[in-house]
């Protein structure tokens, strides 16, 4: 009989979902009308001991879609000039297709069924992402359409802080205010926070996994459907 021990997998840890950290910089707060200006996605990797670390970052500047609203107050906060001549921006559709291609590859490599968006105040990012997908008529969106992992909620429970900078400080992680409101930087810091919280909760997860295994039940039977279609 083989003595090999199965390595932890992302598919088993998150029930077929691959967590991908996403941050969007926008021209306002209204997903249906306001411009998407930057998008970044950061992969999360699982290690042999079951802990998590930040993986590769994908980031694109985005050309505002035709007729998009640009709120001056939002642009002042982000520091983005959408009309800067040398800004290396690509179309919304092109940016999404590139991000989605890399995410789909990661989903396949991790033997997952679907990606799930991780974000700080994730409802905001998911709503803008879904609006952009609808606008560009992209059919192969790897992300779950309505479920997400919100690090503001997780940090509130684990650290007593909901603001990203404060949560990172409470976790002993770095934050550079001068780099804030860059999609790539914010996504990477959010990924670090997500990994930190997951790693701190690892003992709780291991006890829960043992409890479920001891019950010898099929979770799909309890949920009434395939585990990767519901959260």
- Paired tokens of 208: 């829960």
Q: Token digits for 207?
A: 């006890």
d(CA 117, CA 122): 7
Active site residue 181: yes
| Interatomic CA distance for residues 82 and 60, integer angstroms | 13
Taking a C-beta distance cutoff of 8 angstroms, is the pair 20, 116 a contact? Answer: yes
User: Residue 213 CB: number of other CB atoms within 10 A?
Assistant: 9
Active-site residue, selected from the candidate residues 30, 61, 144, 181: 181
- Which 3 state secondary structure label does DSSP give 140? coil
Q: Report, as residue numbers or ranges, the catalytic residues.
A: 181
């Amino acid at each position: 009989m083989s003595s090999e021990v199965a390595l932890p997998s992302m598919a088993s840890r998150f029930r077929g979902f691959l967590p991908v950290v996403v941050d969007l910089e926008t021209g306002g707060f209204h997903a249906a009308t306001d411009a998407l200006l930057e998008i970044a996605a950061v992969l999360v990797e699982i290690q042999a001991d079951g802990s998590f670390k930040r993986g590769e970052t994908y980031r694109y500047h985005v050309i505002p879609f035709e007729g998009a609203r640009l709120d001056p107050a939002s642009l002042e906060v982000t520091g983005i000039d959408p009309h800067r001549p040398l800004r290396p921006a690509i179309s919304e559709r092109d940016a999404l297709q590139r991000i989605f291609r890399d995410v789909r590859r990661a989903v396949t490599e991790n033997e997952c069924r679907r990606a799930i968006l991780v974000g700080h105040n994730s409802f905001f990012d998911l709503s803008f992402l879904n609006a952009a997908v609808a606008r560009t008529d992209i059919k192969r969106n790897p992300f779950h359409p309505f479920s997400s992992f919100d690090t503001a909620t997780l940090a509130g429970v684990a650290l007593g802080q909901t603001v990203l900078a404060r949560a990172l400080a409470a976790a002993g992680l770095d934050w550079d205010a001068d780099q804030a409101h860059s999609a790539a930087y914010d996504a990477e810091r959010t990924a670090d926070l997500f990994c930190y919280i997951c790693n701190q909760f690892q003992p709780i997860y291991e006890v829960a996994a043992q409890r479920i295994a001891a019950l010898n039940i099929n979770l799909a039977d309890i949920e009434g459907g395939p585990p990767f279609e519901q959260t």
